[in-house]
Amino acid sequence: MKKITLLTFLFALLLTGCAETPNDDTVSTVDAETNAELAEAGPAYNVEGTYDPFEGFNRTMWDLNYNYLDPYIARPVSLAYVDYVPSPLRTGIRNFLSNLDEPANMVNSIIMLDGEQAVTHFNRFWINTVFGIGGLIDIASAADIRKPAEPGFGDAMGYHGVPNGQYFMVPFYGPTTLREGTGDYVDGLYFPLSLLTFWQSLGKWAFEGMEDRAALVSQEAMLKDSPDPYLFTRDAYIQNRNFRASGGELELEEPQDEEYLDDFLDEINEF
């Protein structure tokens, strides 16, 4: 999922600067050590690559999102958009916004050494831009040039060994990590995303977010049935980021005490 970038990046940097200095028997910085070493120095995490030093704060933000912002704002607005906006209009908006990401997907595929996927993103961009009225119509898919995975710069960094870094739960935004926040910021520097104003980027995030939120309604029961929804969400998110950073080659492992995670990961991997 693509989300607005600058706010998350600045928020991550702010919290990083406010972090307490670790004890002598722990690692000193995130950048100097791998996530595995961080996990060994701190709490035992179910999913490799997890580093959640702000769990108390993150749980507070989770409660805000899960108990207030989502049920009273995000969920009803998203369902209203899906239910009342004509499907052809929604499809055109979705196609247009998705087309804006294709150059970034192409560059990130190159960084991840996937030339075939990079060529596919390039072909989709020029075909849909030229023949699909700026991307409103997905001509490429009609020509059997199907959209492959959408790698972000955060995924590319992970592919080359950059750890996830700190995990954050941000109001309205949801889960992210320092690596993903930085990667989203870099993605926003690619053409044509770099041409968007703040408000245009916000609109892109809002429209895509409404579609994604409405699509997850069928998965709400699994979240509610989880013994700890916060850990369920964190583990699912980190596993998904690890999977994307591996180029789809990583075998997803089911964390202990989270029997619902596999189905949830199958669902979110479709976005």
Q: Which of 45-54, 80-89, 94-103 has the least mean pLDDT?
A: 45-54
pTM of the model: 0.76
Sign of CA dihedral 35, 37, 41, 45: positive
pLDDT at residue 31 tops 50: no
pLDDT at residue 93 tops 90: yes
> Any idea what the Cα angle at residue 51 is, between residues 49 and 54, rounded to 5°?
160
pLDDT for 29 equals 39
pLDDT at residue 236 tops 80: yes
Q: pLDDT tens-digit profile of 113-128?
A: 999 999 999 999 999 9
Cα-based distances in Å from 263 to 194, 218, 222, 269, 270: 36, 11, 9, 10, 12
Q: Which of 62-66, 131-135, 165-169, 219-223 has the least mean pLDDT?
A: 219-223
140 and 128 Cβ atoms separated by less than 8 Å: yes
pLDDT at residue 19 tops 50: no
pLDDT for 248 equals 75
* Residue 148 preceded by cis peptide, ω within 30: no
Q: What is the mean pLDDT of residues 167-176?
A: 94
In the chain, domain spans: 6-268
pLDDT at residue 143 tops 50: yes
Q: Residue 107 — very low, low, confident or very high, per pLDDT cuts 50/70/90?
A: very high
The DSSP code for 147 is: -
Q: CA–CA separation, 156 vs 2, rounded Å? A: 15
60 φ, ψ (degrees, to nearest 5): -65, -45
The DSSP code for 131 is: H
pLDDT at residue 258 tops 70: no
